[in-house]
Amino acid sequence: MRNPFERMPTVLTADELIDKAFRRAERAASAFKPRGDRVRKARQREELRIRTVSNVIRDNLRKVLERTPGLSTLPKFYQELVDVLVDRDTFHKAMAGIDWAIRMVRELEERYIERIRYSRDPDEMAQLRRQFYGRVASVLRDIDDRLRYLNKAREVLKDLPVVDLEVPTVVIAGHPNVGKSTLLKALTTAKPEIASYPFTTRGINVGQFEDGYFKYQVIDTPGLLDRPISERNEIEKQAILALKHLGKLIIYIFDPSEYCGFPIEEQMHLFEEIYREFGEFPFIVVLNKVDVAKEDQVKVIEEFVRKKGLEPIKISAMKGIGVEKVREEIVKKLRPMAQELAKKKIEEELRRYRADL
């Protein structure tokens, strides 16, 4: 599991890159011990400066291209998140600008090296090298806005959630304080990873559990699936689209005790919205805090849920009551998918093994 943008390097501004390249060139020239007459020594030193500047700039820019994944090659989940966080067209133009600059710097290097080799005057050689410096600086300043944009994009993209795209995933929904994170912790053996991401207000929680040979992933996205659509901004609505590429099962949690601070009617209204929004997914409905809820409160939600053709599971996530039944239901619904994914993984490994023979 890894963030596809974690290897994307810091993108230097035009002035930072110019300063880095020119300093490196002067250090290289100072350490260089040329041989021959005055003209030959000058030629070698100026060629070294030009090649050093060109190499430093092109290596830095090429590293950005090589370590930044192509957006169209990303899994759909990450494509949707990138569309939420950065403008795809601007991103593509910025990357194209870097590619253009690499080619221009290389062309300038070859052109000025050739002119210096034909010169017999050390002063003219120095003048040609300074012209090269100016032309290169102009090229970089032409793409400075694109470099700055890419670095801002990197700061956002490097914090994308790290999720396992090859594991069947459960998405938890429900109002705040109904016990979503408590259930996640009860379901998963390890402490959930909790990190803040740009498209959520309070961070995303990720946990996993195993059943025999198969692994399942459970995520909670505070700020996305815990309030009505009318209260979500455009970024949150788009982020929910990304979740649809990741999740394969929805767990909706009710708190019939109303200790969460939301009346049962509001909880049922949110359920209706989530149920419509994720209508293509199977649902598991959980009634949490039944150890403290009144019986009539539990019955109201039970009757409401059963009208949807669903059978709610009564639990107390805090005390561990009913959690195993939720886990069993998850496995029951997602095991076929886990088996299919495992089969594909084995087939892929066999193909690689045969290719290596």
Q: Provide DSSP, 243-264.
A: HHHH-SEEEEEE-TT-TTSS-H
State how far the alpha carbon of 256 is from the alpha carbons of 173, 222, 269, 302, 353, in Å: 15, 20, 14, 10, 54
Q: Give the neighbor-by-neighbor strand order of the sheet with 313-314.
A: 193-195, 204-211, 214-220, 169-173, 249-254, 283-287, 313-314
- What is the rounded distance in angstroms from the CA atom of residue 175 to the CA atom of residue 214? 30
Percent of the chain with pLDDT over 90: 59
Assess contact for 183 and 323: CB atoms under 8 A.
yes
Q: What is the DSSP letter of 321?
A: B
Region 52-61 average pLDDT: 98
The per-type count for the chain, helices as H runs and strands as E runs, is: 11, 7
| pLDDT of residue 337 exceeding 60 | yes
Placement of tokens 């090298």 in the chain: 129
pLDDT digits (tens, 9 = 90+) for 141-152: 999 999 999 999
pLDDT band for 297, please (50, 70, 90 cuts).
very high
Domains of the chain (ranges plus CATH)? 14-157 (1.20.120.1190), 169-354 (3.40.50.300)
213 pLDDT above the threshold of 50: yes
Q: What's residue 201's pLDDT?
A: 46
Residue 254: pLDDT over 90: yes
In this structure, the chain runs to a length of 357
Residue 285, pLDDT above cutoff 80? yes
Q: Residue holding tokens 């002035």?
A: 15
**Which residue shows structure tokens 């002063």?**
123
pLDDT above 70 coverage of the chain, percent = 93
8 A C-beta contact, residue 4 and residue 127 = no
pLDDT of residue 49: 96
Which of helix, strand or coil describes residue 202? Answer: coil
What's the rounded Cα separation, in Å, for the pair 11 and 151? 5
Contact between 338 and 168 (Cβ < 8 Å) = yes
Higher pLDDT, residue 249 or 238: 249
Measured between alpha carbons, how far is 201 from 207 in angstroms, rounded to an integer? 19
Contacts of 168 (CB under 8 A, 6+ apart): 214, 216, 217, 248, 249, 334, 337, 338, 341
